[in-house]
Structure 1
Amino acid sequence: MPPDDKEWWLAAAIPFDVLSELTGLELEPTEGTEWRGNFYRSGVQSESQKAPWHPIEKPESDYHSLEFFGELRFE
């Protein structure tokens, strides 16, 4: 990863049956279902490359701040 890397993207396959086992909830999102969450980039060369997917407007990042979660829409 080059030191001047400033962007990132995410592709994910979410095993809903595993999430259901872990949470005890039946999870079967359909088109139009909306969740809220955030993703954090780590394992990079410098602090400036670490980044949350959805902005966190705090002086120091707190990746569990629900008020800064973004919308995840199933289509």
Structure 2
Amino acid sequence: MKARVTVMPKAGVLDPQGKAIGHALAGLGFQGVGEVRAGKVIELELAETDPAKARAEAEAMARKLLANMVIESFSVTVG
């Protein structure tokens, strides 16, 4: 079963990569872009076939390794 973990900086945490992307977009002529936040997506192929157990396993992985819980939040989708 596939799981997708999306990790993003928490609100209020400085995001220099997002700021750089926002400036680059403005420099390329894309107007009207507000705040830009940059994160990461991790796709996992899990042996687990039960969706609830797969979600719990992916969430445990995110808490222990994939996300820095001090400055990042995450979401998990399974399917």
What TM-score comes out, normalization by structure 2 length?
Answer: 0.27
Higher helix share: 2
Higher strand share: 2
What TM-score comes out, normalization by structure 1 length?
Answer: 0.28
Greater RCO, CA 8 A, separation 6+: 2
